[in-house]
Amino acid sequence: MESIKAAELLAALAQPHRLEIYRYLVQAGEAGLAVGQISEHFNLSGATLSFHLKNLKQAQLINCLRQGRSLIYSANYPVMNSLLDYLTDNCCGGKTCPISLDSSINKEQHMTEGLYNILFLCTGNSARSIMAESLMRRWGRGRFNAHSAGSHPAGEVNPRAIELLKRFNFSTEGLRSKSWEEFAQPDSPHLDFVVTVCDNAAGEVCPVWPGQPLTSHWGAPDPAAARGTEVEKMMAFREAFRILDTRIKIFTALRIDGLERLRLKEKMDSIGKTMPTADEKDEKDE
């Protein structure tokens, strides 16, 4: 990156509202946010918000995609990475550096009996996030403490999710539908990762977690919304299970401690687009 381009990016961020909007989009992940969600969060007028988003887009700090009648804005992570690389290039001339350029997960912050804390988040916390919690308990055993919650919890776990987990011999002990507010208390576990599993393609609005955990979006169709016969409804649950099972297995295979934070973010977002192979589907159908 050239100095002129770096100065342009920094100038675009040199305004309090614009900087906070950008940080909010960075936290939201690759799925991005609709204009209405951004406006509601910051309580800005349409004209003011449009002005700031236009400036960020012109600087190439954010992307804009139209989905139906909505405009979805998301952070341009490659540009952000390039700016960070420019600012830290050859820091201290290769000598011992007084600052830490390793932005991987802070080990002292996340360690709870040697485990990472991960929260699977959706709206109702009755099916997908519940299955993800149970899956992570098995595949992340010894490395992850798995949790799940909802922004508007249904209050009970979908019985089909419980039936499916038991069918594949996954633990259902302690699974319950609960509010994400339980994880926003002073004595709540420190969260290292927050993964949303809502289906943006179906118009679901995923909750956005505030704070500093590494966030990613692993959207999957809502099986509870499936219509048809009992067999067809159960097939929808099996498909959601397969998708989450595939992604969680890939994630738990990563050497997290060896990855710089932004690189880990990129890998998590890539995992969120991964779908089961035909072989994986056949294996679960046996």
Give the confidence band of 4 by pLDDT, cuts at 50, 70, 90: confident
Task: Determine the average pLDDT of the residues in 228-245.
Answer: 95
Beta-strand runs (E) in the chain: 33-34, 62-67, 70-75, 116-122, 144-150, 193-196, 214-217
Mean pLDDT along residues 197-220: 78
Average pLDDT over residues 76-101: 68
- Distance separating alpha carbons of residues 90 and 203, to the nearest angstrom: 45
Model's pTM, two decimal places?
0.62
- Per-residue confidence (pLDDT) for residue 260, from 0 to 100: 85
The CATH 3.40.50.2300 portion of the chain extends over: 107-285
* CATH classification code of 107-285: 3.40.50.2300
- In the CATH hierarchy, which top-level class contains the domain 3-91? mainly alpha
Residue 231 predicted with pLDDT over 90? yes
Residues designated as active site = 122, 198, 206
- pLDDT tens figures, 35-48: 888 888 887 788 88
| Pairing between β-strand 193-196 and β-strand 214-217 as defined by DSSP bridges | parallel
Q: What mean pLDDT is reported for the chain?
A: 84
For 15, counting Cβ atoms within 10 Å of its Cβ (0-12 exposed, 13-18 middle, 19+ buried), the class is: middle
Predicted confidence (pLDDT) at residue 118 exceeds the cutoff of 90: yes
- pLDDT reported for residue 81: 80
Q: What three-state secondary structure class fits 270?
A: helix
Which of 156, 160, 157, 136 minimizes the C-alpha distance to 147?
136
Distance CA 178, CA 119 (A): 12
Residue 86 banded pLDDT, cuts 50, 70, 90: confident
Residues of the chain with CATH 1.10.10.10: 3-91
Task: Indicate if the pLDDT at residue 80 is higher than 50.
Answer: yes
- What number is the average pLDDT over the span 237-264? 91
What Rg do the C-alpha atoms of the chain give, in angstroms? 20
Distance (Å, whole) CA 211 – CA 206: 16
